[in-house]
Chain A
């Protein structure tokens, strides 16, 4: 059974710092991995999608990497801003096709202080 773990559970940093959020999964047979952002009281916003054949994806100040063999993904946020404060969720889509059945981690709650 696939399990997804995110470390740390919470993180507080001063504005401008670069930071890394970690996600690990127990079954390396995944179709893709997606990082989401959730603001308090809001739904999920898709940040980056990494297919199983890819090693990383970049969007602006965000870079996500994937190491399937070790069951790990990282989300790198450069030059953090107070607007980056949110909960970041990692989700794994297992199997050989896109079933849409995402297994989520518990999330990392990030606070960026001005």
Chain B
């Protein structure tokens, strides 16, 4: 299994500002992902965080809005840039770990943009 922590757990931000979310895993993992859960919605994949190279973004998400870093196999950051109220969501870090390749999720970062 994998234990994932995220910082901050929640934040309230003003529009136009940026917030960087940190994800720390208790073991080295090859695959790390960032998901978004908008209010009342299910989860949507933002991007795959690749160690040592640029992240791979899903349709509808761009690097300028959601820059991602992955400096090593246990840590990643997601920045939400130039925020608007529409960015108010829960942002979750996820990894694949373990023998059966189970996907694990962090506790999430609850973001409210005013």
Query: What residues make up the interface of A, taking CB atoms closer than 8 Å to B?
Result: 32, 34, 36, 41-46, 49, 51, 89, 91, 93, 98-102, 104-107
Q: Are the C-beta atoms of A102 and B103 separated by less than 8 Å?
A: yes
Most buried by B among A43, A45, A89, A106: A43
- Chain B positions 20 through 45: 1 when the CB is less than 8 Å from some CB of chain A, otherwise 0: 00000000000101010000011111
Chain A residues closer than 8 Å to B35, beta-carbon distance: 102
Task: Verify if B96 is at the interface (C-beta below 8 Å from A).
Answer: yes
Tell me, in angstroms, the Cα distance from A101 to B57 when the chains sit together: 11
Are A106 and B42 also in contact (CB < 8 A) when A42-B107, A44-B92 are? yes
| Chain B interface residues toward A at CB < 8 A | 31, 33, 35, 41-45, 48, 58, 92, 94, 96, 100-108, 110
Contact A104 B103 (CB under 8 A): no
Task: Work out how many contacts link A and B, with CB atoms closer than 8 A.
Answer: 56
Interface of B: prevailing SS: strand
The 7 closest A-B pairs by CB, nearest first: A44-B105, A43-B107, A104-B42, A43-B108, A104-B43, A43-B105, A98-B101
> Out of B33, B101, B105, which one reaches A36, CB within 8 Å?
B105
Q: With the chains together, A41 CA to B102 CA distance in Å? A: 22
- When the two chains form the complex, which single residue of A43, A51, A100, A107 contacts B48, counting CB atoms closer than 8 Å? A100
Contacts of A42 in B (CB 8 A): 107-108
**Which chain A residues lie closer than 8 Å to B106 at the CB level?**
43
Instruction: Indicate if the CB atoms of B42 and A46 lie closer than 8 Å.
Output: no
B98 to chain A, nearest CB (A): 9
CB of B108, distance to nearest CB on chain A (Å): 5
Shortest C-beta distance, B88 to chain A (Å), equals: 15
The residues of A that contact B33 with a CB separation of less than 8 Å are 100-101
In the complex with contacts A32-B101, A43-B106, A98-B96 CB distance below 8 A: yes
Cβ–Cβ contact A51 & B45, under 8 A: no
With the chains together, A41 CA to B110 CA distance in Å? Answer: 8
Residues of chain A with a CB closer than 8 A to B31's CB: 98, 100
Known: A102-B43, A107-B42. A43 touches B102 (CB 8 A): no
CA distance A102 to B58 in the complex (A): 12
